[in-house]
Amino acid sequence: MSPDARFDPLRLSALSHRSAPSRPPPRPSRAYRLHRRLVRLGIVLLAAGPALVLIHLSTDTQYGSHNGTWWTYTVASYDVAIITTIIGVALVWRSPPASDERRE
């Protein structure tokens, strides 16, 4: 180990001492950041679609409930759940921006 190396007890490794701080990595491009946001939105929609189906099923199968509430057949309908899931799949499977360069 070189004399200018320092021991970091948290990482249990030798780290060399730097007098100047390292430069932060460049930010990803705007197109790549938009892509990542849309993929995250797709993941949320993929979770929301089956949740809507479960809500619809649970409200339909409640004992003594012959009429569903208005939101069961509008917001939590099977059609909305399927459309939400399809949009979520499309957003998650979207390809990244055409630019090979992810940095500005």
- Encode pLDDT of 22-69 as tens digits: 778 888 888 999 999 999 999 999 999 999 988 888 887 776 666 667
User: What are the boundaries of each domain within the chain?
Assistant: 27-92
Local confidence band at 89 (pLDDT 50, 70, 90 cut-offs): very high
* Residue 104: pLDDT over 50: no
Which pLDDT belongs to residue 9? 59
Which pLDDT belongs to residue 27? 85
* Residue 16: pLDDT over 60: no
**Cα separation, 29 vs 32, whole angstroms:** 5
Which pLDDT belongs to residue 68? 65
Length of the chain: 104
In eight-state DSSP terms, residue 98 is S
Q: Tokens 């007098």: give the residue.
A: 19
Q: Is 93 exposed, middle or buried (0-12, 13-18, 19+ CB in 10 A)?
A: exposed
In eight-state DSSP terms, residue 63 is T
Q: Tokens 């790549």: give the residue.
A: 32
Average pLDDT over residues 3-29: 64
pTM for the complete prediction? Answer: 0.65
Which pLDDT belongs to residue 64? 62
